[in-house]
Amino acid sequence: MHTAASLRDSLTDCGVTVPIDATPLESGYVMPAEWERHSATWISWPKNPYSFPKEILPEVEESYLGIITALAKGETVNLLVDDELAAKRIESIIESRGINSNNVRLHRIRTSDVWFRDYGPIFVKNCKTGNIAYTHWEFNAWGGKYDDLKQDCTVPKSMPLQGLPKFDVPMVLEGGSIDVNGLGTCLTTEQCLLNRNRNPSMDRGRIESYLRDYLGATHVVWLGNGLEGDDTDGHVDDLARFVSKDTVVCAYEEDESDSNHAALEENFRILENATDQAGSKIDIVKIPMPKAVVYEGQRLPASYTNFYVANGAVLVPTFRDANDDEALGVLKRLFKTREVIGIDCRSLVYGFGAIHCVTQQQPA
């Protein structure tokens, strides 16, 4: 399930002695909550013409520059670019914008698209030693929908993560399909993780065992369905997110005539009756949905829960919508010690994702 020799060497380098066939959980590793301190955020520069046609790419790049500017104030930004030509152009833009270039590191690693949350590694942390490792899950481009994007499954192998223990996981999983409180509770959806286009030979119990063994998720809360227009089959980061160890912010559509109302109402009721890893009730806070964002007749999965919690800030997608301010206000009340920053993502969501989808945290 993982390479015994490389795992043995890596764990020895970290000063940790574990059986070579031990899972991350058996070795003391769990996935930390997103609000725990990062050493870096990983992100890939946009360029795929199918996700972002040339008429909207400049606006997508502006969204990226807003994300990088905010992140670089409090942590390292590891930015993947395809080649030297792209690197020189981006370095020039960063310099001209006055972005803290000391905190932006460019890595010449070719990617097919920007959805790093889903194909990148998921980092785990040893509860006793503080050492970091990473898990590499299988990626099949959201159930085989995009053959040209499947090659991004190899990106973690190209990343400069030498010295970190690596655990290869024989299960298809995208990072946007889960959310954790760092203490053992994981949110996910039946629509995604039980979808036969991911792991057809695995039942609910088998999937839960992998979430437990590789991420430390000892308790799983299963929501139902995701948003209309979501090509990920219901990723939870567009639906509900932990904002503290015992509080979840939940997307909610008040308009009963809206096509998202029924699914979001069901998810809210599930959360109302859910408990955490200790059997305690979870506090639920509603956050509004923006009005439908439509491009060429296609509804896009625009949601304020696709935010990203950085060291000193919370980066929140906005959509030039009347509900933008209300959503930012909800998150400001929940993240009192962080600056809540709205990033215009109306063009970024054309690619069916937003800020959380393009970022991945590396714990400190």
| Catalytically annotated residues | 357
Determine how many CB atoms are found less than 10 A away from the CB of residue 345: 32
With vertex at residue 35, the alpha carbon angle to CA 29 and CA 36, rounded to the nearest 5 degrees, is 45
Residue 328 dihedral angles phi and psi, to the nearest 5°: -60, -40
Give CA 248 to chain center in angstroms.
16
| Alpha-carbon distance values, 90 to 104, 136, 196, 228, 356 (Å) | 11, 28, 40, 34, 21
User: Of 141, 149, 132, 216, which is closest to residue 174 (Cα–Cα)?
Assistant: 141
Determine how many CB atoms are found less than 10 A away from the CB of residue 364: 14
| Alpha-carbon distance values, 304 to 198, 243, 248, 355, 357 (Å) | 26, 13, 13, 10, 12
Q: Which residues contact 200 (CB under 8 A, 6 or more apart)?
A: none
Give the span between the Cα atoms of 165 and 151, in whole angstroms: 23
Give the span between the Cα atoms of 108 and 207, in whole angstroms: 34
Are 221 and 187 in contact by the 8 Å Cβ rule? The answer is yes
Locate 45 and state its tokens.
Answer: 């520069």
Provide the pairing of β-strand 132-138 with 122-126: antiparallel
Question: Dihedral angle at the C-alpha atoms of 142, 285, 319, 341, nearest 10 degrees?
Answer: -100
Locate 201 and state its tokens.
Answer: 């030979």
Instruction: Give the DSSP per-residue string, 102-157.
Output: GGEEEEE---SSS-HHHHS-EEEEETTT--EEEEEEE--HHHHT-GGGGGGGGHHH
**Beta pairing partners, 123:** 134
